[in-house]
Amino acid sequence: MTDPITSTSNPRIKDLVRLRNRRHRDRSGRFVIEGYRELDRAARAGITIETVYACPDLYLGGNEPGLVERLMGAGAEVIEVSEAPFRKASYRDRPEGLLAVAPHFAVDLDRVPLDGEPLVLVAESIEKPGNLGTMLRTAEAAGADGVIASDPTTDVFNPNVVRASLGTLFQVPVAVGGTPEVADHLRRAGVRTLASSPDADTPLWEADMTGPVALVVGSEQYGLSDEWMNAADEVITIPMPGAVDSMNAAMAAGILLFEAVRQRSRES
Amino acid sequence: MTDPITSTSNPRIKDLVRLRNRRHRDRSGRFVIEGYRELDRAARAGITIETVYACPDLYLGGNEPGLVERLMGAGAEVIEVSEAPFRKASYRDRPEGLLAVAPHFAVDLDRVPLDGEPLVLVAESIEKPGNLGTMLRTAEAAGADGVIASDPTTDVFNPNVVRASLGTLFQVPVAVGGTPEVADHLRRAGVRTLASSPDADTPLWEADMTGPVALVVGSEQYGLSDEWMNAADEVITIPMPGAVDSMNAAMAAGILLFEAVRQRSRES
């Protein structure tokens, strides 16, 4: 076993801090998973974990040692870290004593299964990692077959995506692609695309969301691109009776997904 | 006009920093509104503004001076602040040059109009100000008649509530009360209460959300109290076909509210 880390200037701690930076993540092809729940979901999903950094003094409950053992059994290197360097490496105000480094996993379009009658969420150019993470969590709750980030502004390996997704990033199939490529991929698979726009006339509940369907939502600031508006089979809207005509992008995705859940539950 | 503030140790800057603290807010009966959009909504809603702190060097657009003039016309004191002290007072990473102090406004239960066929959101013991703010924004978009914070853990004047609400805190009627008092108030007004729980059997879309209705959602961590579960006229659930059986509290509120929008749009 590697010696415990006790110094905040240990090169591994510095590496963890650098992994907050997208360029460093992209270059090294690795990312950070922090927290018990997140790491537990990664382990259950069979995500390869390279190294686990454990600080038992910060554990909140009694399940952490078992999880660390499972990860070690699956081939992860485990390094104990004392509190000061752990806090330096942690992304959180209240660290839970578990942090891991994993190699990027594949996010090709064929990761999302499109056979049968899939329900897919497509999110274009989402800027805020928290929104992308919330979309993943909500898509998982809705039983969606996958989430496709089209022309993403934030990368799916951003620590705040991992966090806001509560680790569902490892459960729901995730893919990334350029907008024309994603639209083409869905069209060839026979998946109908429903684009959401504040300017459309058809309320979401009048669109047919049964069968193979992809719900397409745009960025927080700019909405959907013309590219998507033209490529989509149908353009729908979430009617807003209130004075405010904007909605959080993740909220819009959730309302669309659960309208699909409603329609699809009646079908069966 | 008061002299411009150029020092970070100016007592007014220190007061603004202290207003991040709930105890100081409660004691002084004042709170902070930051940002152009938020302050614009407050002004349109006729919220009394005590003092405006303006840092023109940080303005993002050309509309700020007009807004400052409107606020001054409505009786606000306006103080110019140079960049360093403004950044110290600001709650944001990228301040927009506008910050104001306002006296707390009334949040009694009778602030929420219950005549006719109101749609009300009741949020119990919400812990995260961001969630309460998102609920306000979504309730406003859904055209809800009001939001009631029942046994609130976070106060509605928290700067992150103002921020996440995008200023809709000033548009949608907001009230605060203890759970028994809120339940009783709604019952006496003839408003049906639908409590949301992961353990209920009735899917939200099978409940009648037309007529006078209050949708009741619980806290992030504990869900609804037994008190609410017993007081509610009906207990409903958001069916989650996925493996994850939890959902962000604000997301749950949004899905419920827009199911009500769907049902109520068919009625008319």
Instruction: Based on the fold, state whether residues A148 and A243 are members of the same structural domain.
Output: yes
In chain B, what's the furthest Cα-to-Cα distance? Answer: 63
Residues A146 and A261 in one domain: yes
Q: Which of A141, A171, A259 sits opposite B240 (nearest CB)?
A: A141
Answer whether B171 touches A (CB < 8 Å): yes
ipTM of the complex as predicted? 0.92
Q: Can you tell me the distance from the alpha carbon of A159 to that of A148, in angstroms, rounded to the nearest whole number?
A: 18
What pLDDT score was predicted for residue B1?
60
pLDDT digits (tens, 9 = 90+) for B194-220: 999 988 999 999 999 999 999 999 987
Is B255 in CB contact (< 8 Å) with chain A?
Answer: yes
How high is the pLDDT of residue B222?
A: 84
Residues of chain B contacting residue A253, judged by C-beta atoms under 8 Å apart:
none
Do residues B251 and B184 both lie within one domain?
Answer: yes
Q: Please, which residues 224-243 of chain A have a Cβ atom closer than 8 Å to chain B?
A: 238-243
Q: What is the 8-class DSSP label of residue B219?
A: B
> Is A145 part of any domain?
yes
**For residue A121, which amino acid is it?**
L
Of A134, A242, A262, the CB nearest to B248: A134
DSSP B101-136: EEEPPP--GGGS--SSS-EEEEEES---HHHHHHHH
SS3 of B130-179: HHHHHHHHHHHHCCCCEEEEECCCCCCCCHHHHHHCCCHHHCCCEEEECH
**Residue B241 pLDDT exceeds 80:** yes
A87 and A55, same domain (yes or no): yes
> Does residue A245 register a pLDDT over 70?
no
B151 part of a folded domain: yes
CB contact under 8 A, B243 and A134: no
Sort B120 into a burial class: Cβ within 10 Å, 0-12 / 13-18 / 19+.
buried
pLDDT of residue A266: 77
Task: Convert the pLDDT of each residue in B55-98 to its tens digit.
Answer: 999 999 899 999 999 999 999 999 999 999 999 999 998 999 99
Best of B163, B169, B247, B251 to substitute, by most chain A Cβ atoms within 10 angstroms, is B251
- Asked if the structure places residue B182 within a domain, the reply is yes
| Residues with Cβ within 8 Å of residue B219, at least 6 apart in sequence | B124, B125, B126, B127, B153, B249
Question: Which residues form the domain of B98?
Answer: 11-103
Q: Enumerate the β-bridge partners of residue A32.
A: A101
pLDDT of residue B65: 96
Question: Residues A99, A113: one domain?
Answer: no
**Structural tokens at position A24:** 């460093």
CATH number at residue A37: 3.30.1330.30
Structural domain includes residue A4: no
In chain B, the percentage of residues whose pLDDT exceeds 90 is 91
Q: How confident is the model at residue A156 (pLDDT cuts 50, 70, 90)?
A: very high
Q: Which of B141, B239, B262 sits opposite A240 (nearest CB)?
A: B141
So what's the pLDDT on residue B266?
77
Is there a single domain that holds both residue B162 and residue B228? yes
Count A/B contacts: CB-CB distance under 8 Å: 95
Q: Is residue B92 part of a domain?
A: yes
B215 and B172 fall within a common domain: yes
Question: b/e string for B205-229 if b means 16 or more Cβ within 10 A?
Answer: bebebeebbbbbbbbbeebbbebbb
Q: Is the pLDDT of residue B267 over 60?
A: no
Kindly determine whether residue B143 and residue A171, on different chains, have CB atoms separated by under 8 Å.
Answer: no
User: Pick from B76, B103, B130: which residue ends a domain?
Assistant: B103
The alpha carbon of residue A250 is apart from the nearest alpha carbon of chain B, in Å, by: 8
Which residues from A are below 8 Å from B259, CB to CB? Answer: 258, 262
Q: What's the pLDDT score for residue B31?
A: 97
In whole angstroms, what separates CA A30 from the centre of its chain? 16
Q: How much is the pLDDT for B217?
A: 97
Comparing CA positions, the residue from B12, B49, B38 lying closest to residue B162 is: B38
Q: Is B166 on the interface with A (CB under 8 A)?
A: yes
**Chain B residue with Cα closest to A140:** B242
Same domain, B63 and B140: no
Interchain CB distance below 8 Å, A262 and B261:
no
Angle at A139 between CA A235 and CA B241, to 5 degrees: 110
Alpha carbon B143 to its chain centroid, in Å, reads 14
> Does pLDDT of A220 surpass 90?
no
CA-closest candidate to residue B75, choices B107, B43, B106: B43
Pick from B134, B166, B240: CB nearest A251 = B134
Pairing of strands B234-237, A146-150: unpaired
Decide if B71 contacts B78 (C-beta within 8 A). yes
Residue A241 domain-assigned?
Answer: yes
Residue A116's pLDDT is 94
Tally of domains within chain B: 2
A35 within domain boundaries: yes
CB atoms within 10 A of CB B113: 12
Q: Which residues from B are below 8 Å from A251, CB to CB? A: 134, 138, 250-251, 254
Distance in angstroms (rounded) separating the CA atoms of residues B151 and A124 = 38
Q: Mean pLDDT over residues B168-193, rounded?
A: 96
More confident residue, A109 or B244: A109
Task: Say what the pLDDT of residue A153 is.
Answer: 87
Q: Domain holding B181: CATH number? A: 3.40.1280.10
In a domain, B174, yes or no: yes
Q: Find residue B77's DSSP bridge partners.
A: B51
Whether A254 sits inside 8 A of B254 (CB atoms) is: yes
Question: Do A120 and A98 fall within a single domain?
Answer: no
Say whether pLDDT at A241 is over 60.
yes
Residue in B239, B190, B198, B232 with CA at minimum distance from that of residue B215: B232
How far apart (Å, rounded) are the C-alpha atoms in residues A213 and A242?
A: 28
Distance CA B132, CA B123 (A): 8
**Domain termination residue (choose one: A103, A135, A168):** A103
Reduce the secondary structure of chain A to three states and give it as a string.
CCCCECCCCCHHHHHHHHCCCHHHHHHHCEEEEECHHHHHHHHHCCCCCCEEEECHHHCCCCCHHHHHHHHHHCCCEEEEECHHHHHHHCCCCCCCCEEEEEECCCCCHHHCCCCCCCEEEEEECCCCHHHHHHHHHHHHHCCCCEEEEECCCCCCCCHHHHHHCCCHHHCCCEEEECHHHHHHHHHHCCCEEEEECCCCCEEHHHCCCCCCEEEEECECCCECCHHHHHHCCEEEECCCCCCCCCCCHHHHHHHHHHHHHHHHHHHC
Q: Is B60 on the interface with A (CB under 8 A)?
A: no
Q: By CA distance, what is B204's nearest residue in A?
A: A262
Could A262 and B205 be called an inter-chain contact, meaning their C-beta atoms sit closer than 8 Å?
Answer: yes
Please judge whether B141 and A246 are an interchain contact, meaning their C-beta atoms are less than 8 angstroms apart: yes
The reply to whether B145 and B207 lie within a common domain is yes
Nearest chain A residue (CA) to B246: A141
Predicted pLDDT of residue B147: 98
Report how far residue A42's alpha carbon sits from residue A65's, in angstroms, rounded to the nearest whole number.
Answer: 16
Question: Chain A partners of B255 at a C-beta cutoff of 8 Å?
Answer: 254-255, 258
Answer yes or no: do A192 and A219 share one domain.
yes
Q: Do B141 and A203 touch (CB under 8 A)?
A: no
Which pLDDT score is estimated for A247?
87
**Among A103, A138, A172, where does a domain finish?**
A103
Q: What pLDDT score was predicted for residue A106?
A: 94
Q: pTM of this prediction?
A: 0.94
Question: Residues A93, A212: one domain?
Answer: no
Which residue in chain A is spatially nearest to B146 when comparing CA positions? A242
Of B249, B251, B231, which Cα lies nearest the Cα of B125?
A: B249
Residues in A closer than 8 angstroms to B247, CB to CB, are: 137-138, 141
Average pLDDT over residues A243-259: 90
